[in-house]
């Protein structure tokens, strides 16, 4: 991802572009392994020694609140982050804590159609998160 693309994403989230935000967003967006804050910190600390683990946590939380990444809490209570905002589900392995993206247009369409046809009284659906739990065979 280019610096300009990162600048645009941060701007769309209403965030000021800074070097720290660029580096942290780059680490999250370049992987599909749903990293922890600690993983992000380990990836960036050698080239960015002035960025602390606390800064990584605060910045990731800022990104979640701005809607430019998603947060997922695994079965062990560990926060994991996802830079993919397009509609997708997650496969969660209960044995290894691995999280994989799962895209299925039929499933996404079924969920959207269901809630379009079955409104919840007094409630507006803003987002739907599907986590399919099991284990690898």
> 7 lies in which domain range?
3-82
Residues 95, 61, single domain; the answer is no
For position 107, which CATH number holds? 3.30.1490
DSSP codes of every residue in the chain:
--HHHHHHHHHHTT----HHHHHHHHHHHT-SS---HHHHHHHHTTT-TT--HHHHHHHHHHHHHHTSSEEEE-TTS-EEEE---SS-EEEEETTT--EEEE--HHHHHHHHHHHHHSPPTT--------EEEE---
What are the tens digits of pLDDT across the range 10-68?
Answer: 999 999 999 999 999 999 998 888 999 999 999 999 999 999 999 999 999 999 999 99
Predicted model pTM: 0.82
- Does 1 have pLDDT greater than 90? no
The mean predicted confidence, pLDDT, of the chain is 92
Q: Known binding site for Fe cation: residues?
A: 108
Q: How far is CA 81 from CA 34, 104, 109, in A?
A: 5, 21, 24
For residue 11, the model assigns a pLDDT of 96
Distance between CA 71 and CA 63 in Å, rounded? 9
For residue 88, the model assigns a pLDDT of 85
- Does 112 have pLDDT greater than 90? no
For position 37, which CATH number holds? 1.10.10.10
Residues 77, 119, single domain; the answer is no
Q: Known binding site: residues?
A: 108
């Amino acid at each position: 991802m280019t610096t300009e693309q990162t600048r645009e994403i941060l701007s769309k989230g209403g965030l000021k572009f800074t070097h720290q935000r660029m580096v942290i967003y780059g680490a999250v967006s370049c992987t599909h392994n749903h990293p922890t804050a600690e993983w992000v910190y380990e990836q960036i600390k050698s080239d960015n020694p002035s960025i602390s683990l606390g800064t990584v946590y605060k910045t990731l939380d800022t990104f979640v609140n701005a809607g430019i990444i998603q947060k997922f809490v695994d079965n062990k209570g560990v926060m994991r982050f996802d830079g993919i905002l397009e509609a997708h589900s997650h496969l969660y392995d209960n044995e290894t804590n691995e999280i994989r993206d799962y895209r299925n247009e039929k499933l996404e369409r079924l969920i959207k159609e269901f809630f379009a046809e079955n409104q919840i009284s007094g409630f507006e659906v803003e987002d739907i998160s599907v986590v399919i739990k099991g284990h690898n065979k």
